[in-house]
Amino acid sequence: MIEQFKTINDLSAVIKEYEGMLSRPTRRLSHPTLYRTRDVGKKEKVIKGVRVKDWFLSEDEKWVLPHNQMGLSFSSTYKNLKQVYKLKEKHNPGKVLDIYWVLEKADIPPGLKFEPDLSKQGHYFLTVTEQMLLEKLVEKLKFMAQRMSVIKGAGKTL
């Protein structure tokens, strides 16, 4: 496994080789599974690092409800990763993007599950399978982040 890449094309072979690899491009110094206010639009609602619109929340926004097509986005193919990366690159000019990844079958916390996007090949959601308090989801997302591997983007340093 390579530890650093210069352009997204460098990752083509890696992603194809590792079956079950699910990845997310993340701006350097941002969190791979939680958001800070600087990562989102000015009026976008984020609670404790959870971007509200990504999940199926109860009306009072205290609970996260199961939904197999809502959650955190991941790419399962190089092709999908490439387009997400290019989009993020445009939105973050001059910033370095790293690729965080995990294996689909890896030890993910109970109550979370990867589900394929039924309308987009190569795109997965990290979903919740049982109702849980938003604070519990945050704990689980932090746990996930600690277990994710990272391939560092080189930015303009290489």
Partner 1 sequence: MIEYKFKEEKEYINHYAQKLNDDKALELIEAGIVNNSSDALYLSKFFWRMVDSSIEDEDSGIELPWPEGAEFWNEKIMNTLSGYLDRAGYESEWDSVVDEQ
Which residues lie near partner 1 (CB under 8 A)?
Answer: 40-45, 51, 53, 69, 73, 79, 82-84, 86-88, 90-91, 117, 119-121, 123
Least distance between partner 1 and beta carbon 52 (Å): 9
Least distance between partner 1 and beta carbon 104 (Å): 18
- The position carrying tokens 């990290």 is 126
| CB of 43 or CB of 105, closer to partner 1 | 43
In whole angstroms, how far apart are CA 13 and each of 80, 98, 133? 14, 17, 39
| CB of 18 or CB of 56, closer to partner 1 | 56
What one-character DSSP code corresponds to residue 108?
A: P
Residues 6 or more apart whose Cβ sits within 8 Å of residue 1: 14, 18, 149, 151
Least distance between partner 1 and beta carbon 58 (Å): 18
